[in-house]
Amino acid sequence: MESINIPAIVIGRLPLYLRTLQLMSIEGRLVTSSQELGERLGISAAQIRKDLSQFGEFGKQGTGYNIIFLTNQLQKILRVDHSWDIVVVGAGDVGHAIARYQGFANRGFRVVAVFDNDPEKIEQKIGDFTIQDINNLVPVIKETGVKIAMLSVPATHAQTVTDTLVKAGIRAILNYAPINLNVPPGVQIQYIDPVVHLQRMSFYLE
Amino acid sequence: MESINIPAIVIGRLPLYLRTLQLMSIEGRLVTSSQELGERLGISAAQIRKDLSQFGEFGKQGTGYNIIFLTNQLQKILRVDHSWDIVVVGAGDVGHAIARYQGFANRGFRVVAVFDNDPEKIEQKIGDFTIQDINNLVPVIKETGVKIAMLSVPATHAQTVTDTLVKAGIRAILNYAPINLNVPPGVQIQYIDPVVHLQRMSFYLE
């Protein structure tokens, strides 16, 4: 697959298709259509067909998509047909919520370790995890080969920690600190900042 | 301001400009440029100038932007020159993290109430908040006139709660449940699902 030729905006929609298909499976559904997916997602059926056609032929004209088959195909495309290990850096309230988050199950990810630099937090428990000293971060990443980190440290520390993560071998960072980060080419970065989303809505409020 | 004529994608970038300007102020900076903003954000300087020009003239050729002035203007445009009250529905781990989140300060929002339907959680404390019975949700929204909700209930309950929120007068919902929701025209909705972001990155990992 020539992933390099597929626009990031198309890749960005695939997880939404996958999530919707997985919910349909839970509902006991077997077959769906681009029309139905589109209605659930607020995306046109034509857009969905066009996006999926970049990766192959997944449905037949008139009979729709087999939900299990398309789910499996999307899991392969997004490389979540197996589970990725994740380290969480920063064990504040956000880090706690991430470490205990139930929504990773069956979606391709699992938290394997949580780190903090606060002596009062190190060795404390979050659910099944024992918070580890951030000084162990680099050796743990190198030893386990983990490629993905979720970052929930204060904005003032986020770039320094990011540099450390990248040097240790992390290749994808989901950043919860409210700051844009510099990463070298080949390292993926995504952001979650609830205030950015809230401000995108407040613009439209009277 | 004819907000209706400005593409949502432009509005979507304004919170990133505002966040970066506020960080620059914390750094003690007074003046910036579209070039510098662009470098921090990975957006072209031309794009930033074009976005801002939709709302007026904020900088002078060659002297750049006054950071405090542009911050104030963006706060007015995004309607966060005052603080919006927010209700949080769902007091699980995510709801806890939202209720205790320190990142709302000076960015235009504040949580005023937290609700849950679990008798074991109702009347419990989260920081300064006492978790309220979800049966009080509609009267509290109507009485206080709050317009924004953050939703952190299970996916199976999210649409029902959304319908209730909208009927009670909520006009903007930030949804943490991993499901797309239907809202009527005029109601804003935004989504935070960490797995969607992780899958957008795992596609590129080997």
Residues in Cβ contact with B115 at an 8 Å cutoff, skipping those fewer than 6 apart: B87, B88, B89, B90, B91, B131, B132, B133, B134, B136, B137, B140
What would the pLDDT profile of A84-142 be if each residue is shown by its tens digit? Answer: 999 999 999 999 999 999 999 889 999 999 999 999 999 999 999 999 999 999 999 99
In this complex, is the C-beta atom of B166 within 8 Å of any C-beta atom belonging to chain A? Answer: no
Digit-coded pLDDT (tens) for B121-178: 999 999 999 999 999 999 999 999 999 999 999 999 999 999 999 999 999 999 999 9
Task: Tell me the ipTM for this assembly.
Answer: 0.96
Q: Do B178 and A108 touch (CB under 8 A)?
A: no
Q: Give me the mean pLDDT over the B112-120 stretch.
A: 97
DSSP, collapsed to helix, strand or coil, labels residue A52 as helix
**A187 to A89, A192, B102: CA distances (angstroms):** 17, 17, 28
The pTM of this model reads 0.94
Q: What one-character DSSP code corresponds to residue A41?
A: H
User: Does B1 have pLDDT greater than 70?
Assistant: no
- If you average pLDDT over residues B13-22, what whole number do you get? 97
- β A31-32/A64-66 pair status: antiparallel
User: How high is the pLDDT of residue A105?
Assistant: 85
Residue A46 per-residue DSSP state: H
Confidence of residue B4 (pLDDT cuts 50, 70, 90): low
Contacts of B147 in chain A (CB under 8 A): 205
Residue A2 has pLDDT above 60, yes or no: no
- Which of A195, A205, A206 is the best mutation test for B, with the most CBs of B within 10 A? A195
Flag whether residue B12 sits within 8 Å of chain A, measured between CB atoms.
Answer: yes
A141-170 pLDDT tens trace: 999 999 999 999 999 999 999 999 999 999
- Contact status of A178 with chain B (Cβ, < 8 Å): yes
| Minimal C-alpha gap between B159 and chain A (Å) | 12
Confidence of residue A3 (pLDDT cuts 50, 70, 90): low
Taking only the tens place, the pLDDT of each residue in B44-97 is 999 999 999 999 888 777 789 999 999 999 999 999 999 999 999 999 999 999
The reply to whether B103 touches chain A by the CB within 8 Å rule is: yes
Strand pairing of B109-116 and B132-133?
A: parallel
Report residue B178 as tokens.
């991993």
Enter the tokens of residue A47: 């857009």
- Contact map slice: A 73-92 vs B, CB within 8 A: 77-80, 84, 86
Considering chain A, what is the average pLDDT of its residues?
95
Tokens of B184: 């009527």
Q: State residue B141's pLDDT score.
A: 98
Q: Please give the average per-residue pLDDT across B29-40, as a whole number.
A: 96
Q: What is the 3-state secondary structure (H, E, C) of B70-131?
A: HHHHHHHHCCCCCCEEEEEECCCHHHHHHHHCHHHCCCCEEEEEEEECCCCCCCCEECCEEC
pLDDT for position A164:
98
In angstroms, rounded to a whole number, what is the distance separating the alpha carbons of residues A36 and A59? 13
3-state helix, strand, coil in chain B (%, to 5): 45, 20, 35
CB-based contact A199:B15 (threshold 8 Å): yes
Instruction: Please tell me if residue A15 touches chain B, with a CB cutoff of 8 Å.
Output: yes
Residue of A87, A147, A204, A206 best to disrupt the B interface, most CBs of B under 10 A? A204
Q: B7 in contact with A at a CB cutoff of 8 Å?
A: no
DSSP lists the bridge partners of residue B195 as: none
Determine whether the interchain pair B199/A18 forms a contact, defined as Cβ–Cβ distance below 8 Å: yes
Answer whether A188 sits within 8 Å of B195, measured CB to CB.
Answer: no
